[in-house]
Amino acid sequence: MRSILAFTPPDLQEAREGVVRRRLVFFVAGYDPEARVRYRMLFVRELLLAARRFGLPARKVSRLSRSEDGLAQSWDVAACPETGGAAVTYETLHWEDIVARDGRRPPGLDVVLIVAGTLHALVSGLIWRFYRMNPLYGNVIVYPFAMVLALGLAATLVTVLADLALGALGLPRWAALPLALGAGLGWIPLLRARLDRMFFWLLLRSWVFHWQHGNGWRKDYEARVEAFTAHVAARIAAVSAAEPPDEILIVGHSTGGLTAAEITVRLLERMPGLGAAGPALSLATLGSALPLVATRRAAWRVRAEVARLVSERRLVWCDFQAPQDWMNFPGFNPSRDLDLPLEGRPVANPIVRSAQFKQLLAPETYAKVRNRPFRMHFQFLMANERAGEYDFFRMVLGPQYLRERAMRPSLGPDPVGPVPARE
Domain ranges of the chain: 6-99+218-407, 103-211
- Model confidence at 412, in pLDDT bands (50, 70, 90)? low
Render the burial of 60-79: b for 16+ CB within 10 Å, e for the rest: ebeeeeeeeeebbbbbebeb
Q: 235-239, 392-396, 409-413: which has the minimum mean pLDDT?
A: 409-413
Cβ 419 vs Cβ 391: under 8 Å: no
As a whole number, the mean pLDDT across the chain is 92
Alpha-carbon gap, residue 365 to 279, rounded angstroms: 39
- Of 340, 364, 363, 362, give the one whose Cα is nearest residue 350: 340
Predicted confidence (pLDDT) at residue 423 exceeds the cutoff of 80: no
Give the pLDDT score at 265. Answer: 98
Tell me the CB-side half-sphere exposure of residue 12, using CA atoms within 13 A: 20
Predicted confidence (pLDDT) at residue 2 exceeds the cutoff of 50: no
Q: Quick one: DSSP state of residue 386?
A: S
Give the pLDDT score at 245. Answer: 97
- Mean pLDDT, to the nearest integer, of 187-209? 91
- pLDDT digit string (tens) for 335-366? 999 999 999 999 999 999 999 999 999 999 99
- Model confidence at 188, in pLDDT bands (50, 70, 90)? confident
pLDDT top residue among 243 and 254: 254
- pLDDT digit string (tens) for 106-148? 999 999 999 999 999 999 999 999 999 999 999 999 999 999 9
- pLDDT digit string (tens) for 250-287? 999 999 999 999 999 999 999 999 999 899 999 999 99
Preceding amide of 330 cis, omega within 30: no
- CATH architecture under which domain 6-99+218-407 falls: 3-Layer(aba) Sandwich (3.40)
